[in-house]
Amino acid sequence: MSQSEEVAVIVAGHEIKMQIAPAERVHVEKAAAQVNERLRKLGERAGALSPHKVAAMVAFQFACDLSIAHEMLDEAEQLAEDLRRQKEAVARLEKLLARVDDALLV
């Protein structure tokens, strides 16, 4: 059975409570800190923007970051698959070369 714990983080001055796996605690706390830091930085430059608009802008920035991360992950997975295929091809070539070498020695 999966254990969970309640964690409370402050995001944009609001307490958010959630049930999480203990291993996720550090990630949740880091995420809250990142959101708060972006809110602070953008809020300093935002001037007369409402807190809701600043929060929406920060959410949009994180969505853009996530989209880029997904693209990078997809590319990394494709590169890993390409590498696997190349290793297979090299192994087949090495076997063929070994057979040629053996045939030449006879």
Q: What is the pTM of this model?
A: 0.69
Dist. CA 96–CA 101, nearest whole Å: 9
pLDDT class of 1 with cuts at 50, 70, 90 = low
Residue range of the domain that includes 25: 5-105
Please indicate whether residue 36 or residue 51 has the higher confidence score (pLDDT). Answer: 36
Record the tokens describing residue 45, joined without a space: 């430059």
Contacts of 59 (CB under 8 A, 6+ apart): none
Number of domains in the chain: 1
Across the range 80-85, mean pLDDT stands at 98
pLDDT class of 49 with cuts at 50, 70, 90 = confident
